[in-house]
Every structure is written in C-alpha cells, then in structure tokens.
Structure 1
C-alpha cells in the first residue's frame, strides 16, 4: 500500500469511528462572508474546548486599500463566548479570493498558523510573478507548521488527519476532524460543482483525482465547503453536504463521470471565468501567512499589480 493510500485508509477509519461514536464528532460553527462568498469555521472538541479556526477572512476594500476586522471579530466573539482554547489557525490553501485574518486572530486568541507543505511551490511561482525579491523567503517559514499528507493531529480527544488534495492549487489540503472534512476549494455544493483549475500550478486532472480521493471517504462524511455562490434556482447559501450527496448529485463530478470528461468540461469552463476580484492582494498577502508586504521607507505597505503578466 502506498503512503497516499495508507493516509486515505486512516482517514476512512477515523470517520467510521466518529460516525459510530457521537463523542468523537466535533462541534462546528460556520461564519459566512457574503462579500467574498467565503465560509470560515470554528471547530472544537465539546469535552476539552480545544479548537481550530479554518479559512478566516480579513475584510478588504479594494478601491481604498483599507482593511478591517468585522468578519474576524465575529470569530473572536464566538471563541471568547464559548471559552475555547484555539490550538490551530488552519488555511486549506493560499486563497485567491480573500485575505486571511490569521495573524489578527493569532494575536487575539492564539493558535499555530498552519498550511500544507506545498505552499513553498505556490510561494515560488507567485514570488516570481510579483517580483518579491530575495527578502521574501520561499520556504514556508511564514507559517508555524506545514502539514504533510496523512499527518495526524488532535483537538482534545478528537482525531484529525490532513489529506493533500491538489489541483485547484498545488498546496490544497483537506482536514478531516472526526466525521467532518473541511475541503477548501476542491468542491462546491452538488448543484454548483467544482473549483477552477486554471491558476498557476493548477491541474484539472489532478483536481479530479483529488476529489475522487475525498469521495472515497465514507458516505456519511460531512463535507464543509469554503465557498458558496448559490447555484441557479437556489435562493439560499449553503456550505454543508455529504460524500453520498456529492457522489450521487454533483453536476461536475458525480459517480460515472470520467477523468477525461471532467478535464474537458473543467478546461472549457475555466476559459470563460474572470479572475477573482481580489486575486492580486489576496495571493500576495496569503503567501506571507496573511501578513502584508513589508512597509516601504514611508511606512506604508503596497500591493503590486503586474501589468500584462497574467
């Protein structure tokens, strides 16, 4: 058995145990930011109150370049009200559609900032694109921890495991905690489909294989998504589904869809999509662990926009 297969097998066993034992399941609160269509999560062990915050959002006004903390403060309020101990501030990947609030949250509620180890590949690509210079370290050192595929972690008595699910970007990770999987941008609600794969380092075939890896988890696995855009005909935002629902009904990747069919669909569809509104500020900040570029000699941080380069 390969290391990748062994990691998936461990995740499957973990979910089965949690399905059979409600004390092995996490308490989960989702915080939806409509401006970026992003869902942040606070996940905790009800017994020990140990918690993780996943995919937090820093409010950013593109026209003025101003940041604010309304979204993050809702998370802080929840953590404090519940008297949670934050162990982890997890990023499923280096987001291109919103800026992470992890450094702000770390100052207020603690926790180790973590992402998948292949962030170094993303840093290399975008470090060159933004001409970040030699002062920008491309080794993941902006984060406190880099998760490996199959790596175990815990929130109190809750078991967790990280799975590498590249394709949207090279560094995407899913984090399975008890019976819940936090899958980042790999997949959306069944009626909306899947993530794009045309960013630098993205690969539609790899995304298909990553999604099928996730859909090899038990049918009962709860999937918590990073985004929702309300598919045509649906009036409400939604961000929780199951493996069974995805396998039976995902409009892009349900059972029976082949990799070749998916790649053809995904490649054609991606050619019609505009770049995310906040891609330039988001990527520059998020490859730095959610920190702004170093201030220049006037004390101001600047976001670069490469002209005719993408």
Structure 2
C-alpha cells in the first residue's frame, strides 16, 4: 500500500513537515515537525505544529508515530508538544546517542541529561519495519550529514531528511560533528538504487532564484539531474566537491537553540528555580 502525503512548508526555516497517512485505516505519522522560534526574543510558538494538528483533526486521523529524520540544526522540533496534544510515539535513529554525547559536552548540559536516547520513546534500528495503520514502513540508516540520519520508506515514498535536496540544490553538508562525505555518498547511492519512480520527499528546499519552493521528486530525477551526485559522479569527486563547499558555508542560524532542544526530543531544557527554561550559547567553542 502507498501512503497519502500532506506537506506543510515553513517559510521561516525552509522546512517541510509531513503527515503520512493510511486513508483506509485513519492512522498517520508526523515527520519532521517545526516548533516556531523567534531568535530575537527567545520566544517559541506552535503555529506550524498546530497546522499539522488541524489537518489531523479534519481528516479524523490517529497519530501513531512522530518521526524525526535526525537532530536538526536549522529548526526546533515540535515533537514533544505534538505528543502532549495527540499522543503518538516519538522515534529517531538509534545513533542519536552519538550526537547527544557530542553536544552534551559542547553545551555542558546538566548532569541529569543522559546521552542514552531515553528522551525519545523509541530508537529505530537500520532496516527496522514498523506499521502506520495498514501501511508498512521501514527505517533506513543514511549517515553522512549526521551519524544518526534516518530515511523512512513507506510504500512508494521515502522521506529523506537532509540527505538529499531537490536536484538543482544538491546534497546536505557533512561538516557537523560526526558528519562524513564518504558516508553521505554511500547513503545517497543506497537511496538512488531504489526503483526510478520511487517518490522522494525532502525535509528542506532552498530554491535558486526564479523557482518556487518544492519538495518532491523521484529517484530518476535525482539520478539524472542532482548537481552534486547525479549518475557518473565518483565517490572521490563527490567528497572533494562536498568538502570544498562545506568550507564556505556559515553555521545555520538556529543551530545553537535547535540542537539543544532536538536532542531532547523537542522538549525544552528543565526550568531553573525561577521557573524559566534557558538555552546556552557556548562562546568561542564552535
């Protein structure tokens, strides 16, 4: 069975969230949700997440899964908020523990924070099969952008996270802790070995001038036209290109707040004795 997919584009972070559902059974998964965050004021809001909830309500869907393709550096996850509102199991790749260990040190997090993945309800293993109602889904490990990146295959559709962008944008950066251009090459080849008409859904789109944001293509589109990894590009060529390009990129605007929240499954840090939760900004550390 193939899923029905509803996309929600957040223009502030160029992020695409998805409701992936089984029309026959009325069950769904929410993929890569967004918690709105105003960096100037430090205020959070739930407009983007509430749009997902409104659609879930309109369609009378039951949320089974709240899926994260990885610990995002460009937006805050709304997974914790969504679970409070509609239930569901928050899941991410099991290698999230590697990411948590690195960033616990970078942010000098409280001793109570354990980098064991326990903040999430379920840690997915590579190849693990799970159900969304009557749909069969599979978790696919696609490291490279981060060591914990997962893609989710549901029928004829694959939700690729940051591993791939639209063909005219290319592939994800690999210079975050634990990133590897060699691993990303292998991960992309794994995805592009699927049937040519497989639908690929991006987590972001950063369109070049003159194109409106879009987030769906096929394996055939990527193999023919991806500017970084079309057919014929060797691993050595890609690693050289990716390494040179990554050296020119600035850090994502929201990486410092986003990672602190996202390694907690979308929960804010614990409030201090004045009732306020705080995010840390490590000076001269990154």
**TM bucket by the smaller chain?**
over 0.9
1:163 match: 140
- Which has the larger helix fraction? 1
TM-score (normalizing by structure 2)? 0.99
2:84 match: 107
2:93 match: 116
For residues 96 and 226 of structure 2, the distance between their equivalents in structure 1, rounded to whole angstroms, comes to: 28
User: Is 1:235 matched up with 2:172?
Assistant: no
- Report SS of the residue matched to 2:119: coil
- Give the superposition deviation at 1:235: 2.2
User: Is 1:249 matched up with 2:225?
Assistant: yes
Counterparts in 2 of 1:1-310, with a 5 A limit?
A: 24-232=1-209, 234-310=210-286
- Report SS of the residue matched to 1:99: coil
Q: Deviations over 1:149-205 (max 9, x none)?
A: 000011122111000000000100000001100000000000110000000110111
For residues 159 and 70 of structure 1, the distance between their equivalents in structure 2, rounded to whole angstroms, comes to: 30
* Long gaps (5+) in structure 1: 1-23
Q: Deviations over 1:19-66 (max 9, x none)?
A: xxxxx1100000000000000000001100110000000000001000
Q: Deviations over 1:192-223 (max 9, x none)?
A: 10000000110111111101111111111100
* Long gaps (5+) in structure 2: none
- Report SS of the residue matched to 1:43: strand
1:4 match: none
For residues 51 and 290 of structure 1, the distance between their equivalents in structure 2, rounded to whole angstroms, comes to: 19
